[in-house]
Amino acid sequence: MELVTNSLKILNEEDKKDLDVARISEDEKSTASRKLYIESYGCQMNFADSEIVASILRENDFATTSKIEEAELILLNTCAIRENAEQKVRHRLQHLVPMKNKRKNVKIGILGCMAERLKTKLLEEEKIVDMVVGPDAYRDLPNLINEVEEGHKAVNVFLSREETYADITPIRLDSNGVTAFISIMRGCDNMCSFCVVPYTRGRERSRDAHSIVKEATDLFNQGYKEVTLLGQNVDSYKWQSADNSVVTFANLLEMVAQVSPDLRVRFSTSHPKDITDEVLYTIKKYDNICKYIHLPAQSGSSRILELMNRTYDREWYMGKIDRIREILGEECGISQDMIAGFCTETEEDHQDTLSLMDYVKYDYGYMFAYSERPNTPAAKKLTDDVPDDIKSRRLAEIIAKQREHSLERNQMSVGKVYKVLVEGFSKRSQEHLSGRNDQNKMIIFPRESFQKGDYVNVLVTECSSATLIGHIVE
């Protein structure tokens, strides 16, 4: 289990790294004369963006370092999805004040969604910040850095309708050398009433399919064995080539799967309204496309879903779950996002969420107490009227329900053999390895003579609500 501010994900025991913050894990080997330190907060898209930033700055004489005290440039790549996410960044900035006062040459930049939301207001509120850069302005970082070094504050929060960074090869930060993210699209056109993403990341645009396949191929040739295709809503991916042929997400998924049968493919996130039978049958067709889908529900109440502008109701969502189970089988892993205490939520609405969870029996989930975000449709049109103590109680009940289901789903795996990609040592013992199965569940097993990057067959012998335990079989 892991609490993250006002949210919780039912985690495997190996996933103890803070979900909200990823720091550079090792120094980049480079002859660059200047040092860059990056911290990434929030979603996987931010982590992928930090790798793009590192690549852009490497061309401008910056090498990444894991030691913040060595850095001349400190960048915080931020999240704005919840108030607590922004408060984490503000607290981090306060911790950096002594360093900034002591080392006058150190420059501090705020990147990402918080930068886009607050813009120049950040410079006024956080005096130690030298520059503010939105998600679509990373190519302008060298110019902004020059401006700061000349003694000025610098801002670029321009949102683009074209930028995808398709031509930039990311520098893999905090990488295990086995798994990697590939960003396939940017922005979001879904106007969910609670969400700031359309305002901080702009409108949807899909990346050139051939550049995605090339990136996956290059990663495989470098020894990577798994890629995760990332987007705010991957199922709405659509790219049109020069000859006007259209590549859908199902087409792209197949193209990446065909890079090699030894390259596993995952994807995140899916919007229930957009995931199609074509996508599900493509998953079924290829053994190397993992049988796991993150399908955020947000609520089990049709009334609340309508207020959230999710464009589906409870029954429609349940029908989509039925279709996934029908095509991919009962063992296909499914995870959720769920919000407790959205505007006007009643006890009956909350019970609808719990009963939806009973119907689906998710493998794990990300659960949140509702946090109103400024300028969203919900903030403008609805009243955040559920008291905090009731939000907390409802969230606790959702968490307890998910724990129960996670254990039940994991118990189904006991006695079964899974193909597992070894990702590294168990965090508890150098004598054990860890890796994930198709369903995105971590399995721990004795290392024997195997190593990171190997595929092994593991018989599951026991489990908790968060982790599977077993041993390698031939």
Verify that 72 and 217 share a domain, yes or no.
no
At 82 the pLDDT is: 87
| 23 band by pLDDT with thresholds 50, 70 and 90 | low
Does 196 lie in the same domain as 137?
Answer: no
3-state SS of 375-422 is CCHHHHHCCCCCCHHHHHHHHHHHHHHHHHHHHHHHHCCCCCEEEEEE
Using CB atoms within 10 A of its CB, is residue 407 exposed (0-12), middle (13-18) or buried (19+)? Answer: middle
Q: Are residues 220 and 319 both part of a single domain?
A: yes
State whether 218 and 338 are in the same domain. Answer: yes
* 166 lies in some domain: no
pLDDT of residue 21: 60
pLDDT digits over 264-300, tens only? Answer: 999 999 999 999 999 999 999 999 999 999 999 999 9
pLDDT at 18 over 50: no
Q: Are residues 377 and 460 in the same domain?
A: no
Structural element, H or E, at residue 222: none
pLDDT tops 80 at residue 2: no
Average pLDDT over every residue of 106-121: 97
In this structure, the answer to whether residues 331 and 448 fall within a common structural domain is no
Between CA 251 and CA 62 the distance in angstroms is: 37
Same domain as 432, residue 344? no
Instruction: Say if residue 340 is in the same domain as residue 292.
Output: yes
Q: What is the pLDDT of residue 19?
A: 40
User: Is the residue at 5 inside a domain?
Assistant: no
Cα dihedral 154, 50, 86, 190 in deg (nearest 10)? 100
Angle at 89 between CA 84 and CA 94, to 5 degrees: 120
Confidence of residue 242 (pLDDT cuts 50, 70, 90): confident
- Tell me: do 24 and 99 sit in the same domain: yes
Q: Is residue 94 part of a domain?
A: yes
Q: Are 288 and 264 in contact (CB under 8 A)?
A: yes
**CATH number, position 442:** 2.40.50.140
**CATH number, residue 49:** 3.40.50.12160
How confident is the model over 145-155, as pLDDT tens digits? 999 999 999 99
Query: Looking at the structure, do residues 281 and 342 belong to the same domain, yes or no?
Result: yes
Mean pLDDT of the region 302-316: 98
Residue 238 has a CB neighbour count (10 Å cut-off) of 16
> For residue 32, what pLDDT is reported?
74
Domain membership of residue 75 (yes or no) is: yes
Mean pLDDT score, 97-121: 95
Q: Which of 371, 392, 411 is the last residue of a domain?
A: 411
Domain co-membership, 137 together with 242: no
Q: Give me the pLDDT at residue 198, please.
A: 94
Measured between alpha carbons, how far is 98 from 23 in angstroms, rounded to an integer? 20
Mean pLDDT score across all residues of the chain? 93
Read off the pLDDT of each residue in 201-221 and give the average, rounded to a whole number: 97
Find the CATH number of the domain harbouring 316: 3.80.30.20
Structural domain total, the chain: 3
Please identify, among 411, 434, 458, the residue that sits at the C-terminal boundary of a domain: 411
| Domain shared by 266 and 213, yes or no | yes
Confidence tier at 25 by pLDDT (50, 70, 90): low
On whether residue 227 sits in a domain, the answer given is yes
Q: Which of 385, 411, 437 is the last residue of a domain?
A: 411
CA of 104: how far to CAs of 67, 97, 99, 144, in Å?
A: 17, 11, 8, 18
Q: For residue 194, give its domain range.
A: 179-411
Element (H, E) at 93: helix 83-102
- Least confident range from 21-25, 81-85, 181-185: namely 21-25
In a domain, 4, yes or no: no
Asked whether residue 199 is assigned to any structural domain, the reply reads: yes
Residue 71: inside a domain: yes
